[in-house]
Amino acid sequence: MKAKRLLGAFLAVGLVTLAAAPTVLAAGNKPKKEAAPAPPAAEAPMVKKSIDFPIAGLSWGMTPKQVALAIDKMIDDDYRPLYKEVQPGVKMKALDAQLAEDKDQFRRGRIDFGTLPTGIDGTPLRGEFTYQNKESLMTLNHKGQATHFFFIQDKLWKVIDEIKLTDTYPLGKTFQDVAVKLSAKHGVPGRVLPADATRASVEIDWKDPTTHLRVIQRSDTAIAMAYEDNGTVANLVALRPNKPVADSGIDPSVAAIMRGGGDNGPPVPPPAADKKKTNKK
């Protein structure tokens, strides 16, 4: 049964490859259009075991201050072996200062998505937030891995782990490896969501009663694991009353001219009077 589940997960991932190949060669070497793949299921499959939260001590709905205190405990654990090797004195004071700086750096890095654009717009996180809807972001850089904490109305609702795939990563070194192993772990193949207008890359997802898990393909050697609060996801339309303004990429002054308004340059002089009429006495 386990082998069948693994095979099912692998076949699900294979739908992406099939979708990318619209034609095949028939027996007569004539191109033949292949039937379009079935659309993804309406809902992510429900897992048989609860989805593990990425960081111990966190829960949905926490405030930025509560999340920072949970991160403090994790940083304290990192420093504990260092304190065992240092004697009281100058070196310990330096270690105290570095510990305090690491904790404060996480707090200082908060980004509020208000009316002004941010540098996050040019990253893969662009579709994970909106502006002018009381949303914010805090990022932890820990042991070479970035973890992003998203808040809406100062309540934690999404966590994204950026992960580099290596030979030593427990879930495998490819996106397909991760899909197969997570399908086996959760007891059901994930739903494959191809890249489209709303997704920059392929995703596979699952959910349990409280959490929605999305595995996002960043590249051949990197993925992101996005954990979302089901209650917030279901209520996002109400929580995001301000919709993004469509950006056509056209300079505003040029757009105004195209619309027939704004500064169109100097006025065009009236046509010259008819010479015959002008010279007529």
The residue with tokens 């510990």 is: 99
Dihedral of alpha carbons 206, 212, 218, 223, sign: negative
> What are the tens digits of pLDDT across the range 21-38?
333 333 445 555 555 666
The per-residue b/e assignment along 39-53, b for 16 or more CB within 10 angstroms, e otherwise, is: eeeeebbebeeebee
Measured distance between the N- and C-terminal CA atoms of the chain, rounded to whole angstroms: 107
- Tokens linked to 175: 């996106």
pLDDT at 32: 56
pLDDT at 248: 47
Which distant-in-sequence residues (6+ apart) come within 8 Å of 239 by Cβ? 133, 152, 153, 232
Percentage of the chain modeled with pLDDT above 90 = 64
- Tokens linked to 268: 């065009």
The residue with tokens 């990253």 is: 123
CB atoms within 10 A of CB 195: 14
Distance CA 100, CA 107 (A): 11
pLDDT at 144: 86
Domain ranges in the chain are 2-16+44-63+109-239
> What are the tens digits of pLDDT across the range 67-116?
999 999 999 999 999 999 988 999 999 999 999 999 999 999 999 999 99
pLDDT at 33: 59
Specify burial of residue 183 (Cβ count, 10 A radius: 0-12, 13-18, 19+). buried
pLDDT at 104: 96
Task: Inform me whether the pLDDT recorded for 15 exceeds 90.
Answer: no
Percentage of the chain modeled with pLDDT above 70 = 73
Given pLDDT bands bounded at 50, 70 and 90, which one contains residue 184?
Answer: very high
pLDDT at 99: 94
Task: Inform me whether the pLDDT recorded for 122 exceeds 90.
Answer: yes
Distance CA 73, CA 256 (A): 54
- Asked which of 121-135, 190-204, 252-266 is least confident by mean pLDDT, the reply is 252-266
The residue with tokens 């030979």 is: 167
